[in-house]
Amino acid sequence: MAVLAAAVTVAIAGAMAGGASAARADGSGPQPERQLLFYNHAYSVLDRETADAVEHSEYLRTFANFEVRTTTGGGMTWTGRYLKGRETYLELFGTGDLPGQDGEFGSAGMGVSTERAGDLATVTERLKALGVAEPFPYRQTRDFGDGVKVPWFDTVRATGAQYDAFDPWAMEYLPEYFADPRSKTEPESFPGDVGRERYLPDDYRDHLMRDVTAVRFGVPARDLANALPLLRAGGFAVQSLPGGGVVAAGGGTRIRLDSVPREQAGLKQVRFALNRPVAYRHEERIGRSTLVVGPGAHAVWSFDAPVR
């Protein structure tokens, strides 16, 4: 879904003349009472060596419900490398896999989603209360290959298509998508269920990886300012870090965004919960990254800084 950013750029090009008011990064404004948004997935553009190593890794196919998939949505097509858990997933690209700015090394993004239908509207109102005068909505569609578009999910951003390297958005899956048999999704667990577990398949059970429990990104200052009101409106507890950056906690996934120059932007680390504990420590080198699994019921995937 990384190409969602490019689709939004096309959809709202020219609409930014007045633009939304700058989001207040100091966290002023009313604090939400209920968690409405939860980490859904994140993407990042890796160096070509690492992206190719990820794509051809036999270990990742054992470790996770791993898939290389081509998707068409919003009139665009992209091929990503996916590690899918019970409720959360990770999407990886190589430099140049996506068009324009989205395909540059270090470009990244994150979707935080609702579990109940209608909560995205509440998030939008909370954004306004936090000083975002004009949140930007966008509806994403999906084409399963037959040319028939189905509504996929609605999104809202604290600002439009203006970002330097990190694109955060809130999202809510649509009933039309769940109702389409081509989506291969699960029945609802309660009225209004548009949750992540319903959306993702249960094949994670056959692998070690269960879910993403933490992500860490290097994020340029402007992008960090745009992410903060979205996290606060979603109900995350946001704590400032010395030297810039924040940690957002809530909903089972810890999100760390470090304030960095554009050349240092991108995915730094991902932590996973496993379906079962392992008694050993396994270290897997994948391109310019290292995945350490165990001991215990957790794993850590760290990404090296690029050679310049």
Question: 165-188, pLDDT tens digit by residue?
Answer: 999 999 999 999 999 999 999 999
Output the furthest CA–CA distance in the chain (Å, rounded): 58
Calculate mean pLDDT across residues 118-131: 97
Give the total residue count for the chain: 308
Torsion of CA 54, 59, 62, 65, to 10 degrees: -10
Q: What is the pLDDT of residue 82?
A: 97
Q: Rounded to an integer, what distance in angstroms lies between the CA atom of residue 97 and that of residue 105?
A: 10
Percent over 90 (pLDDT), the chain: 77
What's the whole-model pTM score?
0.88
